[in-house]
A and B are shown apart, each in its own frame.
Chain A
């Protein structure tokens, strides 16, 4: 009782652990306790190894967490830039649409004046017809000036219309919005290629890796706990089971989780 042996009910020998007893002079000598015991340095060494691994995983998770925050900011920043372009394009489109309505009304007015002039000319009232045609021309010119000022038509488009006599239209909001957007995005001073969704997806992917690394770190902690039990337990079976569990958890985590998450 003074040799610091196991307390009642506990044993360090395999025979004791399963209740059998080595007996008989013919039997080979039982291995000594020291021979069956794991090397003294092994479990503490593994505890240290697993702890360092957990530290590395935590460090990597921190790195990736920082990267995902950066990716988030990129995604938000690019979204704002992209939507600013869309807002500018939307405002421009609305302005141009409004200009087109006014242009269209003025054109209709001019066409009606020309028709009225034709009616007057048919009655031999060339003076009235000439006056009406002059007013129609004036109306057109005013309308074109306003349309150019609002950006509804470029000067060249107006020239084309004047030469051919065809009124451009109707106004396609979607098409004009797309072209205004494209103009905002492709200028020499534009913000370049924007892909906020790609950054968002990348942030999500990075966060998934961080999450896996956190769970891996938790698994490492479980392995440390198992190795601690393996170091402290008095029952050999307990020690071996704990040692095995620790090894499986550690190796399993390293092989299955870490490569994908790192």
Chain B
């Protein structure tokens, strides 16, 4: 009986167990089916993202070459148009257009001044109307090129986001596969082990679904075409130094895309340019009240808060603004970040060296100066000169805003002058045993974007290596600026006749300063009045 009773009790228990097991397996089967469908859905999303990435890659590549060819045409036509002005200027040196009195003397005939003026006017008219394409059309070409370039950058941003999405979906799928394994594995393990395996599996699956949802909801960066067009117009206006037009264009762009980086840093530059018309050419800060600094800084802050701290161009503009403002700690951090993202930016190293001088760290300044010089070898002489001129100008800002470091700034200027002089004369300098030397400015005038200079000097040995570094004060109270063209390094010049050079300026120099270096040593520094202030 006992055994019969046992059998009759075990039978229902086994059957009940089997029913429970059967139900469990069906539930697991349904969960697995749902997870498979979910996985397939995520796989479709991943494929969509990969597909979109392919499309944006294609478009980015096409836009890149389109932008390049448009830029070639725009720059070429712009250069040809600028030749018109040069040709008209060159009429001054053609005999037929020379002064009637001089022409009379040369040809031995009487020249009717009115007829001579008519000849000149007709010639100018002929050259000036050489192109049926007017300036507006050339500007339009440049804007098209700039817009294509901006569009390409925006497409690249979209491509990067699609790439990130596709890759994240793949990670989700891999994680979901683990969840599927955990849930499915419970079918072959004992009941007691099932909960600690199945529960994490189900939670992991739920997490994956949520994760996929988050990835899906992440927006793809898009830039409104109107904002791109307005920014392109602003960039061209900026390059043509039309500050107010540029500011207006960038503002239009920011109305539809408030966080658009090129428009933000473009407007910051345009704001600086509006009150410092030569700042992008000679780094001349003529707005001594620094009224532009605050609005420009506001735009730059918005840019930095919206990804600008990862954008080399935004960082470079921020570095320039902070350096010119004499905000040395902020300038140091910004330039360091900019160098991290663009280690080819030679200006950045020179600015950084000057900032180190301002902060009183001569070793660090030397380090950054060496870094800059290491990158000089591929550059031609004029470009190097421009860079060193910028460096001198920033060192002048350092001297003006941080008098404690003025001596250090002078030493670093002297060092750079010596290097340039050595490179020019092709020998090591010999600073020992210098006799007293004096420099006098005989003539320093500015008119029609032309500077005429004449010096006299005394006490310089004939075989000495000299350098004359010219500085301009672009407005009363403004810091000295070292324009690239006002620099001579080499053998002792014959002097006497002086030089006349083309120096286009919006702000006429109100004062000049000339530093004379002999064998790399600063031996004299003289100032001379300039012309009436225009800024």
Are B58 and A225 in contact, CB atoms less than 8 angstroms apart?
Answer: no
B58 contacts which of A72, A101, A233 (Cβ < 8 Å)?
A72
A97 within 8 A of B: yes
Are A200 and B72 in contact, CB atoms less than 8 angstroms apart?
Answer: no
A215 within 8 A of B: yes
Q: Which of A94-122 contact B (CB under 8 A)?
A: 94-95, 97-98, 100-102, 104-105, 107-109, 111-113, 115-116, 119-120
Whether A80 touches B65, Cβ cut-off 8 Å, given contacts A105-B87, A108-B126, A120-B109, is yes
What chain B residues lie within 8 Å of A170 (beta carbons)? 129-132
Are B44 and A115 in contact, CB atoms less than 8 angstroms apart?
Answer: no
The CA-CA distance from A225 to B68 in the complex, in Å, is 53
Are A177 and B108 in contact, CB atoms less than 8 angstroms apart?
Answer: no
Count chain A CB atoms within 10 A of each CB in B15, B41, B59, B132 and give the residue with the most: B132
What chain A residues lie within 8 Å of B124 (beta carbons)? 108
Q: Which of B259-282 contact A (CB under 8 A)?
A: none
Q: Which of B186-219 contact A (CB under 8 A)?
A: none
What chain A residues lie within 8 Å of B122 (beta carbons)? 108, 111-112
Are B83 and A98 in contact, CB atoms less than 8 angstroms apart?
Answer: yes
The CA-CA distance from A167 to B123 in the complex, in Å, is 13
Are B133 and A196 in contact, CB atoms less than 8 angstroms apart?
Answer: no
Are A83 and B68 in contact, CB atoms less than 8 angstroms apart?
Answer: yes
| CB closest residue in chain A, given B41 | A218
A21 within 8 A of B: no
From B28-36, B345-353, B503-511, the one touching the partner chain is B28-36
Q: Which of B38-89 contact A (CB under 8 A)?
A: 40-41, 43-44, 47-48, 51, 54-55, 57-59, 61-62, 65-66, 68-70, 72-73, 75-77, 79-81, 83-84, 87-88
Are A94 and B76 in contact, CB atoms less than 8 angstroms apart?
Answer: yes
A1 within 8 A of B: yes
Interface size class of B (residues with CB under 8 A): 35 or more
A258 within 8 A of B: no
Are B76 and A95 in contact, CB atoms less than 8 angstroms apart?
Answer: yes
From B90-98, B311-319, B382-390, the one touching the partner chain is B90-98
What chain A residues lie within 8 Å of B79 (beta carbons)? 94, 98
Distance (whole angstroms) from the CB of A228 to the closest CB of chain B: 6
A119 contacts which of B15, B115, B126, B130 (Cβ < 8 Å)?
B115
A203 contacts which of B55, B73, B84 (Cβ < 8 Å)?
B55
Whether A222 touches B62, Cβ cut-off 8 Å, given contacts A7-B23, A98-B79, A170-B131, is no
Are B61 and A104 in contact, CB atoms less than 8 angstroms apart?
Answer: no
The CA-CA distance from A237 to B77 in the complex, in Å, is 79
What chain A residues lie within 8 Å of B126 (beta carbons)? 104, 107-108, 111, 167
Chain A positions 1 through 23: 1 when the CB is less than 8 Å from some CB of chain B, otherwise 0 = 11000010000000000000000
Are A218 and B59 in contact, CB atoms less than 8 angstroms apart?
Answer: no
B127 within 8 A of A: yes
The CA-CA distance from A108 to B69 in the complex, in Å, is 33
Are B58 and A203 in contact, CB atoms less than 8 angstroms apart?
Answer: yes
Are B96 and A174 in contact, CB atoms less than 8 angstroms apart?
Answer: no
Whether A177 touches B73, Cβ cut-off 8 Å, given contacts A7-B23, A119-B111, A215-B44, is yes
A97 contacts which of B15, B30, B76, B107 (Cβ < 8 Å)?
B76
Distance (whole angstroms) from the CB of A49 to the closest CB of chain B: 18
Are B107 and A120 in contact, CB atoms less than 8 angstroms apart?
Answer: yes
Instruction: Give the tally of cross-chain contacts (CB within 8 A).
Output: 192
What chain B residues lie within 8 Å of A93 (beta carbons)? 73, 76-77
Are A90 and B87 in contact, CB atoms less than 8 angstroms apart?
Answer: no
The CA-CA distance from A123 to B313 in the complex, in Å, is 66
Distance (whole angstroms) from the CB of B457 to the closest CB of chain A: 40
What chain B residues lie within 8 Å of A196 (beta carbons)? 62
Are B51 and A90 in contact, CB atoms less than 8 angstroms apart?
Answer: no
Are A90 and B33 in contact, CB atoms less than 8 angstroms apart?
Answer: no
Are B69 and A171 in contact, CB atoms less than 8 angstroms apart?
Answer: no
Distance (whole angstroms) from the CB of B426 to the closest CB of chain A: 35
B17 within 8 A of A: no
Are B40 and A217 in contact, CB atoms less than 8 angstroms apart?
Answer: yes
Are B96 and A214 in contact, CB atoms less than 8 angstroms apart?
Answer: no
What chain B residues lie within 8 Å of A204 (beta carbons)? 55
Whether A76 touches B62, Cβ cut-off 8 Å, given contacts A94-B79, A221-B36, is yes
What chain A residues lie within 8 Å of B123 (beta carbons)? 105, 108-109, 111-112
Whether A218 touches B68, Cβ cut-off 8 Å, given contacts A90-B73, A109-B94, is no
A52 within 8 A of B: no
Whether A112 touches B66, Cβ cut-off 8 Å, given contacts A105-B90, A222-B37, is no
Are A97 and B55 in contact, CB atoms less than 8 angstroms apart?
Answer: no
A69 contacts which of B22, B48, B54, B130 (Cβ < 8 Å)?
B54
Whether A79 touches B48, Cβ cut-off 8 Å, given contacts A95-B76, A104-B127, A128-B108, is no
A260 within 8 A of B: no
B residues near A (Cβ < 8 Å) are: 11-12, 15, 19, 22-23, 26, 29-30, 33-34, 36-37, 40-41, 43-44, 47-48, 51, 54-55, 57-59, 61-62, 65-66, 68-70, 72-73, 75-77, 79-81, 83-84, 87-88, 90-91, 94, 96-97, 103, 107-112, 115, 119-120, 122-124, 126-127, 129-133, 137-138
The 4 tightest CB contacts between A and B, nearest first, are A94-B76, A90-B73, A97-B80, A108-B123
Interface pairs (11), CB distance under 8 Å:
A75-B62, A83-B66, A87-B69, A102-B83, A105-B87, A105-B91, A105-B123, A107-B126, A109-B91, A119-B112, A171-B132
